[in-house]
Amino acid sequence: MVRRQPRGSVQVTRYRKLIRAPLPFVFRWCTDFREDDNRITDSIYHYRAEILLREPSRIVRLITVPGRERNRATDVEIISVHPPDRWRLEKLSVTDDEVGHYRLTSRGPALTALEMRFRKRWKVSRLPDQDRYRRLFHTVWDRYVSVIESEYRRSRKK
C-alpha cells in the first residue's frame, strides 16, 4: 500500500539484532566500511559504494543505486565512528534525509545486541511501502549477522 503524506514527513523506526560474537569483533566488522561491501547484499539490495574520505572517526561514502533515469539514486553517507560501541550515519538523498544511530551492547562473552534507530525526513509526498521496506531491512541485516557470525567462528579456529 502506498501512503500519501505531506512532504517533510518524519518517520522513526527501530530495529534490534542479536549477534553471536563479542562486541569488539562486531564493532570492528560493522565500522570497517569498504567499497566491496555490496558483495554481501548484492542479490538483495543492489548498490555501489565509493569511499570519498576515510579518517579514524569519519567515513564519507557515495552510494549509487543502479536504475534508469528517474529510478537511479545517488546518496551521500557520512558515518561518524564512536568507539567502542556506537556509530552514526547521516544519509542525504533526493527522496529523503536520514539519521541512523547504531549502538552495541554486550550480552555475554560472545553475544552482542545491536540496536538501530533511524529518523527519516521524506522529501516526497508518496512514501514507499513501509512493510516492504521493513522486510528488506531485516533480510539485509540477517545476511550481515550471518556473515559476522561465520567470520567470527572462522577467526576462532585460526
Q: Judge whether 120 and 97 are in contact, CB under 8 Å.
A: yes
Q: Judge whether 57 and 81 are in contact, CB under 8 Å.
A: yes
Q: What single-letter DSSP state applies at residue 71?
A: G
* Tens of pLDDT, residues 90-123: 999 988 899 999 999 999 999 999 999 999 998 8
Q: For residue 83, what pLDDT is reported?
A: 97
| Third-level CATH fold of 7-123+136-153 | Alpha-D-Glucose-1,6-Bisphosphate; Chain A, domain 4 (3.30.530)
Q: For residue 47, what pLDDT is reported?
A: 74
d(CA 31, CA 139): 20
Q: Judge whether 50 and 35 are in contact, CB under 8 Å.
A: yes
* Tens of pLDDT, residues 130-141: 898 899 899 989
For residue 16, give the amino acid letter: R
The low-confidence residues of the chain, meaning pLDDT below 50, are 1-2
